Amino acid sequence: MIKLYDYLPCPYGQKVRIALAEKSLNYELIEVDVTRGANRRPEFIRLNPFGRVPVLIDDETTVYDSTIVIEYLEDEYPEPPLLPALNSSALRARARQFEDFADTSFTPQVGQLMAEQAKAEAERDPTRIQRVQRGLENILNYINRELEGQEFLAGPFSVADIAFAPRLLVLKEMGFEAAFNRPHVEGWIKRLSERAAIANLKGLSVEPLPGAA
């Protein structure tokens, strides 16, 4: 039986839950309340010494880091695939690059915007907000160009699209129109939203994660 230790609003845990749903894998969800420091307790640190969710346990195997968890799921449960075919090395590299780009650039910047918006208006840093918004505009303009002529970022639906979905789908609620003047992004968002694994995802929220900055 698969167990997933997760904090529902965490976009990296959401990545893994989308992957599990796409593969129709049953699992036990164990919620880790990071707002109360549950991720720093010894019993959790034994699972992940970094003290971060998500952590997946599959029988005797423990895996942490969302990217590595999804790679494990691809190896252990290859159908349906969430990476392009093995003989498509270039597309597989492209999918991994976009996943990393989402994880290290897009998702953190949305988190920074969330953190600023969560503050009292008088405490917000307008310079920082403008800087982050410009960064997101640049990313989305780039994605719009990369999506021209295709439905998803790396051929078929893949980890590349999964990695963007959690934070992409809350931007509108934050007053940020990701699809404005970006027709390819607009179509992409619609296709992502129509997938059951994403449409039924729990925990989508504009609340910043503890420690977000």
Reported as a single tens digit per residue, the pLDDT across 68-98 is 999 999 999 999 999 999 889 999 999 999 9
What pTM did the predictor assign? 0.94
| Domains, the chain, ordered by start | 2-76 (3.40.30.10), 89-196 (1.20.1050.10)
Residues 6+ apart with CB under 8 A from 197: 18, 19, 21, 22
- What digits encode the pLDDT tens for the residues 116-160? 988 898 999 999 999 999 999 999 999 999 999 999 999 999 999
Model confidence at 208: pLDDT above 90: no
Residue 14 is a catalytic residue: no
**What pLDDT shows up at residue 204?**
82
Q: Cα–Cα distance between 178 and 175 in angstroms, integer?
A: 9
Question: 5-59, pLDDT tens digit by residue?
Answer: 999 999 999 999 999 999 999 999 999 999 999 999 999 999 999 999 999 999 9
Report residue 212's pLDDT band, with 50, 70 and 90 as the boundaries: very low
- Judge whether residue 211 has pLDDT over 60: no
Marked catalytic residue, from 6, 7, 9, 10 = 10
pLDDT at site 86: 84
pLDDT in tens, 148-183: 999 999 999 999 999 999 999 999 888 888 889 999
Spatial CB neighbours of 88, under 8 Å, sequence gap ≥ 6: 155
